[in-house]
Amino acid sequence: MQHDIHIFGLNYRTANVEVRECFALKEQETFESCARELGKAVDELMVLSTCNRVEILVVSPVGSGTAQRVVDCWARSSARAAGELAPHIYHHRGLDAVRHLFQVAAGLDSMVLGEPQILGQLKQAYRHAVEQGHARVVVNRL
């Protein structure tokens, strides 16, 4: 079975502080609620939530209709309507998602170019995904 890598996110470029605060996610809450809700539609899940961005990385079977499910789950986890979230998010898929993840890790997508804290925050998000059993073959390789 083939899989897709997706990154759904919002950041300082796509949403102001108030919007980012509304849709900020705590990793534990997101893992518990989204993992249950998304079930077999998502094989792997990692959440990065900082003051300037929220990103949800998912690995899912090709053609599983993951995109709308993730957006709906994110909105519900934030007690908001998906329509409020949709105008502010971006979606990267496949190689574009991998490229975006590396740019984030290197601080190239940060408000302050090259800021070093993002790599530590990304490592923490990965550790949390591993602890919850949501990082497997694909996320581990990234």
Q: CATH no. for residue 44?
A: 3.30.460.30
Q: Which residue from 63, 27, 20, 71 is spatially nearest to 45, judged by alpha carbons?
A: 27
Residues that are catalytic? 51
Domain tally for the chain? 1
CA dihedral 18, 127, 28, 87 (to 10 degrees): 30
Comparing 50 with 66, which gets the higher pLDDT?
Answer: 50
Tens of pLDDT, residue by residue over 91-112, are 999 999 999 999 999 999 999 9
pLDDT value of position 28 = 61
pLDDT value of position 25 = 82
pTM value?
Answer: 0.90
Average pLDDT of the segment spanning 106-119: 91
Domain that holds residue 24: 3-141
Per-residue pLDDT band at 142 (split at 50, 70, 90): confident
Per-residue pLDDT band at 30 (split at 50, 70, 90): low
Asked if the model's pLDDT at residue 72 lies above 60, the reply is: yes
Q: Note whether 109 and 9 are within 8 A (CB).
A: no
Most confident range, picked from 9-13, 34-38, 65-69, 114-118:
9-13
User: What distance, in Å, lies between the first and last C-alpha atoms of the chain?
Assistant: 19
